[in-house]
Amino acid sequence: MSPADLDATFIALADPTRRAILARLASGEQTVMELAAPFAMSQPAISKHLKVLEHAGLVTRGRDGQKRPVRAQTEPLKAATSWMDDYVRALEASYQRLDSLLEALQAGPTSNDPIN
């Protein structure tokens, strides 16, 4: 996943309306009108949010007559989660190195310690 793709995914997730739309899609495909109903917001506003979600690959659109059913997709979420997991792992590994170092220093510093 390219940085730009990560950008698109996090941008899409960074809005409570869009996350609420996704949450509603967990119970299956919905039309734009169905998605718009619960929000105090115009239909074009919802269409704009859907475009942002689609651009991130978080939803795909079908065609059923005049309706354009919206369906959620998991792939970008998995890629984003994977970036975050890798990062947290790297952080915790570095904390652990620091912890061991502090522990070693407390046990009794020697001329071999990287600091001192």
Stretch touching its own copies by CB under 8 A, among 22-30, 33-41, 61-69, 106-114: 22-30
Site for DNA in 42-71 (CB under 7 A): 42-45, 47-52, 61, 65-69
Amino acid at 65: G
Instruction: Find the shortest distance in angstroms from Cβ 96 to DNA.
Output: 25
Residues shown for the chain: 116
CB burial readout 28-41, b (16+ within 10 A) else e: ebbebeebbeeeee
Measured distance CA(67)–CA(60) in Å, rounded: 13
Provide the sign of the torsion angle of the four alpha carbons 28, 1, 18, 33, taken in this order. Answer: negative
What is the CA angle 6-27-43, rounded to 5? Answer: 70
Q: Decide which of DNA, its own copies, none touches 100; Cβ closer than 5 to 8 Å per partner kind.
A: none
Enter the tokens of residue 46: 């919802």
Contact track, its own copies, 31-70, x by CB under 8 A: ----------------------------------------
- Which residues are near its own copies by CB under 8 A? 3-4, 6-7, 10-11, 13-16, 19, 22-23, 25-28, 72, 74, 77-78, 80-81, 83-85, 87-88, 90-92, 94, 98
- Which residues are near DNA by CB under 7 A? 11, 14-15, 17, 31-34, 40-45, 47-52, 61, 65-69
